[in-house]
Amino acid sequence: MLDSLRNIFIFDQKSPMIFTRPYFWGFFIIVFFLYSFLYRKKALRNIYLFAISYFFYYKTGGLFVFILLFATLSDYLIGHAIYRSKPVILKKLWLSLSVIVNLSVLCFFKYDYFFTDTVNRLFHTHFEVVTHAALWSNQLLGTHFDISKILPPVGISFFTFQTMSYAIDLYRGLVKPVKNPVDYAFYVSFFPQLVSGPIVRASQFIPQLYQEYTLTHYEFGLSVYMILKGLFKKMFIGDYIAINLIDRVFANPVSYTGFENLMGLYGYSLQVYCDFSGYTDIAIGLALLMGFKLPQNFNSPYKAKNVGDFWKRWHMSLSSWLKDYLYIPMGGNRGASFFTYISLTTVLVFIVLISGKLWLAVIFLPAIAVIWVLTRFFPGLKLTISTNINLMMTMLLGGLWHGASWTFVIWGGLNGIGLVIYKFWKKISPYENSSHRLATLWKIFLTFNFITFTRIWFRGESMQGTFDLLNQVGNNFGWDHVPVMVFAYWKVFLVMLLGYVLHWLPYATKDKLLNWFVDTPIYAKILLCALVVFIIYQSMSAGLQPFIYFQF
């Protein structure tokens, strides 16, 4: 009995609390049951959900809960300082402090090994990464933590982006500071979306803290539907094809034919969508049950007709964040700003450090000089060049946010190039404004295949692995073995086909399915839930797959 109670309240790194574990659903049933006694009292409701959210994060990320607490308190205090300051220069100083604190913590945990390895390689030093908190704990308490291993806190990028957007919006005068620190902490830590989004703006969420709880018949049906849809996408489709094809192929591309590599790549495009959108579907459903509305994060992205359209549909909360807090401050489509040069310098420094070649900095200087001359002496080109640089910097920084490696730089760069090329192409494309079905299918086909092609670098475990995959597809496709491979992987391909068919269903068909589910009586909903859980259970393999975006 004591061991069981201990397991409930003690963090276990091997068994974090995630949506795909039965433990979470037992936790949520208890949370929701107690919530039913508190939901009418707004202040008590907010305090309760704040406490539950911190417990959830502790069970998911352990003592990193203190990093969450630090990020929350620092931006809460800085936010009030920004609001109270009258001189603009003082507001800018407080905002700068917020950005520096947030990015310093984020960079420490995401890029600690990268910077240490880079310094050692460039200057032939022998620095080592040391977790001082673990060292002090071992010395004082006799624990046995690995002091050479620094793991990033779960969801650090997501809650950091939320706290940064709060400070920036305060500076811009778009929101007013939250008076109650518990309310602000609840906004930052709300557990359904805490570790993988969607990223929620204060202007979207804070007003909901002071509204009466409502849950209509339609909203209840929608919330249950979203949860079931998310679990089905993540566990039945995403995890199944990952375990039975994708992970094997990407771990060792040369052991598989080009056909298997290509199918693994198409499978990964489906997996990453099902995995990430599945999480946010569950988060949106859980939040709605508790009376809170989270923003839509995915809108059938593989129906996009061009790269720009894709990024308006994929991870919409991050795309809009990058647009509002990176692209527009750089000048957007109005030209370059001082922030453009800061971003350009940041990207170039990362590229030099990733390559480990200091002489690359010498090559970049003439390139920057050429761009400066063109914008200086050819005014007609200035706006075009500046806008496209802003676009490229946004995508490259988005790539570096995922990780400091050549693979993510290339992935971000390819998407940036795709956006820039499309901007020129749409001006001369003969079918850009065509609504003909064949033209629409052709645009969707091209966009989907381009996005899938870039995923070689997003998923590839190394640069060598990406080259191996490309080489197998180009030089060792194995046409003679395709029938055998189709037969061998028929279950995987059937699940992939199901996933893509469901994704490409017309919106009207999806709406009819949703409305049908909403209108079913409660006993039918219970039976359908049991059926979906049974189907998912039948597809499960040993060991649960973590959500892909937990690592970011």
Q: Which of the listed residues 204, 227, 254 is the one where a domain comes to its end?
A: 204
Give me the domain span that covers residue 95.
2-204
Do 45 and 183 reside in the same domain of the chain?
yes
Do 81 and 94 reside in the same domain of the chain?
yes
Q: Is residue 442 part of a domain?
A: no
* Backbone φ/ψ region at 332: left (φ over 0), alpha (ψ -120 to 50), beta: left
Q: Is 436 an annotated catalytic residue?
A: no
- Chain-centroid distance of CA 171 in Å reads 26
Q: Is residue 446 part of a domain?
A: no
Q: Are 477 and 257 in contact (CB under 8 A)?
A: yes
Do 369 and 385 reside in the same domain of the chain?
yes
Q: Is residue 151 part of a domain?
A: yes
Do 134 and 200 reside in the same domain of the chain?
yes
Task: From 154, 153, 152, 157, select the one nearest 199 (Cα to Cα).
Answer: 157
Do 144 and 7 reside in the same domain of the chain?
yes
All residue ranges of the chain with pLDDT < 50 are none
Q: Which of the listed residues 162, 178, 204 is the one where a domain comes to its end?
A: 204
Do 86 and 133 reside in the same domain of the chain?
yes
Predicted local confidence at residue 301, as pLDDT: 96
Q: Which of the listed residues 428, 451, 478 is the one where a domain comes to its end?
A: 428
Phi, psi of 433 (to 5 degrees): -100, 10
Predicted local confidence at residue 541, as pLDDT: 62
Cα separation, 61 vs 54, whole angstroms: 10
- Those residues whose C-beta lies under 8 Å from the C-beta of residue 168, and which sit 6 or more positions away, are 95, 98, 325
| Total domains, the chain | 3
Do 174 and 284 reside in the same domain of the chain?
no
Do 269 and 311 reside in the same domain of the chain?
no
Q: Is residue 438 part of a domain?
A: no
Q: For residue 360, what are the CA distances in angstroms to 321, 370, 412, 469?
A: 31, 16, 19, 28
Cα separation, 116 vs 113, whole angstroms: 5
Q: Is residue 219 part of a domain?
A: yes
Q: Is residue 403 part of a domain?
A: yes
**Dihedral Cα 224, 230, 231, 237, nearest 10 deg:** 140
Active-site pick, 402, 436, 481, 503: 402
Do 162 and 246 reside in the same domain of the chain?
no
Q: Is residue 159 part of a domain?
A: yes
Do 187 and 221 reside in the same domain of the chain?
no
The C-alpha angle with vertex 548 and arms to 462 and 30, in degrees rounded to 5, equals 160
Residue type, 365: L
Buried b / exposed e across 402-432, counting CB within 10 Å, b at 16+?
bbbbbbbbbbbbbbbbbbbebbeeeeeeeee
Q: Is residue 451 part of a domain?
A: no
99 C-beta neighbours (distance < 10 Å), count: 15
Cα separation, 56 vs 438, whole angstroms: 49
Do 187 and 253 reside in the same domain of the chain?
no
pTM over the 0.85 mark: yes
Greatest alpha-carbon span in the chain: 78
* Backbone φ/ψ region at 396: left (φ over 0), alpha (ψ -120 to 50), beta: alpha
Q: Where are the alpha helices (DSSP H) in 62-142?
A: 65-84, 88-123, 132-141
Do 77 and 185 reside in the same domain of the chain?
yes
